[in-house]
Amino acid sequence: MAQADIALIGLAVMGQNLVLNMNDHGFVVPLLEAGDIIIDGGNSEYRDTTRRCQDLKAKGILFVRSGVSGGEEGARYGPSLMPGGNKEAWPHIKTIFQSIAAKVGTGEPCCDWVGDEGAGHFVKMVHNGIEYGDMQLICEAYHLMKDVLGMEHDEMAKVFEEWNKTELDSFLIEITANILKFHDTDGQHLLPKIRDSAGQKGTGKWTAISALEYGVPVTLIGEAVFARCLSSLKDEGIQASKKLAGPPKTKFGGDKKSFLEDIQKALYASKIISYTQGFMLLRQAAKEFGWTLNYGGIALMWRGGCIIRSVFLGKIKDAFDWNPQLQNLLLDDFFKTAVQKCQDSWRQAISTGVQAGIPMPCFTTALSFYDGYRHEMLPANLIQAQRDYFGAHTYELLAKPGQFIHTNWTGHGGSVSSSSYNA
């Protein structure tokens, strides 16, 4: 009987195309023998993965958890693969994985070993969170074009096509242009007929939960998840639209070309913030779990094949190649300058949108993060004072960091303070 190189369970949209792709590359799949390597290529929760890894290790089975991205087409012709888990398995599957993965540049595969235990699934989870952010940012740009500038669908499609020739060049911008110009069988545009209530399978939510758990301000992905939640309150929204007033509708009086440029730059700057936050989360998770993550390698894995693939990820790879210890993407010269160049337009797009009553949760949270991150002094001194006032939670003085003290603010409070710890 022929020996299998690999077996695959779960032959749905992506699974069956992955098998066909492996077959094209000469690898066979007749039977899965109990024993050596099991690969989980689903969007599994990384802690389940870690648990499974430990259980299987006890039985002598090598478990690999691989993030797989690229949808139906990617699975068939070249996905982005993010394997992690028991590294002893890697030499056995490396050729298969790297052969079938998408290639970028001079043929570099969008696949490399990510790290131990649930690292592969954690990286895929963050990829999906970033995907939620990118999609919401594009939606906010579309909303501004549609409701502030009053643009028609074909015209908006052309703008996205143009943007796809710039630093925004990416799969999601490309498909947005295609979606905008798509006509239904009755000759009308299909997009405005689609119910504006977004679904979600949970990976964006997991990213936001991890961000809260590890205390990393991944605000943009959080807002993108909540934007989907808000959109799911469709029936309530219809009621509210009849009762709650916004600003009066006015015709846009500014320069359309220049406002479109403002939106483009707001999108680019916000995207930089989103990826900055995503990589902050990866860095913190690596610290929590003792993973050694190669951030440039992760950017390369996402550069092609996956849903968030873009030219921009090449720049992120360059930044980490230049400085593998880079603490924060915003501190890289290229990204620092890029945000600086977008800043005026970013603020302009947001203030115009706010005046017109357009919800822009991701554009605005990105700018707030930027302003918060770059401030030498935040108003958190007042929070500390409030906590100490009502609950004797103590505070530190700027001049004496590390020493926690309590003040009797009212003159009639006690001198007992609560213990100091941070969740």
Using CB under 6 A, which residues numbered 18 to 47 contact ligand 6PG?
43
Min separation Cβ 394 and ligand 6PG, Å: 42
Q: Look up 249 and say whether it is catalytic.
A: no
Which one, 43 or 323, has the nearer CB to ligand 6PG?
A: 43
* Cβ closest to ligand 6PG, residue 124 vs residue 317: 124
Nearest approach, Cβ of residue 128 and ligand 6PG (Å): 5
Q: Confirm or reject binding of residue 203 to ligand 6PG (CB under 6 A).
A: yes
Nearer CB in complex with ligand 6PG: 59/195: 195
Measured from the CB atom, the residue of 115 and 129 that comes closer to ligand 6PG is 129
DSSP H or E run through 66? strand 62-69
Q: Which amino acid is at 181?
A: K
End-to-end CA distance of the chain: 58
CB atoms within 10 A of CB 387: 15
Query: Shortest gap between Cβ of 24 and ligand 6PG (angstroms)?
Result: 20
Letters for 210-249 (x = contact with ligand 6PG by CB under 6 A, - = none) are: ----------------------------------------
Q: How many Cβ atoms from other residues are within 10 Å of residue 63's Cβ? A: 22
Residues 6+ apart with CB under 8 A from 240: none
What is the CA angle 222-394-281, rounded to 5?
A: 25
Would you call 131 a catalytic residue per the annotation? Answer: yes
Nearest-CB residue for ligand 6PG: 69
The count of chain residues that interact with ligand 6PG, using the rule CB under 6 A, is: 13
Q: Binders of ligand 6PG among 180-199, rule CB under 6 A?
A: 199
Q: Which residues pair with 40 in a beta bridge?
A: 65
Instruction: Tell me the longest C-alpha to C-alpha distance in the chain.
Output: 87
| Bridge-based pairing state of the strands 37-40 and 62-69 | parallel
Contact set for ligand 6PG, span 300-319 (CB under 6 A): 306-307
> Binder to ligand 6PG among 40, 108, 117, 131 (CB under 6 A)?
131
DSSP 68-88: EESHHHHHHH--EEEEEE-GG
The token pair at 129 is 């969170």
Q: Could you give phi then psi for residue 271, rounded to 5 degrees? A: -65, -40
- In the set 117, 124, 181, 265, the catalytic residue is 124
Taking CB under 6 A as the rule, does residue 128 contact ligand 6PG?
A: yes
Of the pair 124, 406, the CB lying nearest ligand 6PG is at 124
> Which residue among 131, 205, 265, 317 is the active-site one?
131
Nearer CB in complex with ligand 6PG: 136/345: 136
Site residues for ligand 6PG, window 43-82 (CB under 6 A)? Answer: 43, 69-71
CB 68 within 8 A of CB 14: yes
* Whole-angstrom distance, CA of residue 272 vs CA of residue 385: 34
CB of 69 to ligand 6PG, least distance (A): 3
Please identify which residue in the block is written with the tokens 């695959």: 8
Element (H, E) at 405: strand 400-405
Q: 140: closest CA among 364, 294, 381, 390?
A: 364
Query: Known catalytic residues?
Result: 124, 131
Binding footprint of ligand 6PG on the chain (CB under 6 A): 43, 69-71, 128, 131, 199-201, 203-204, 306-307
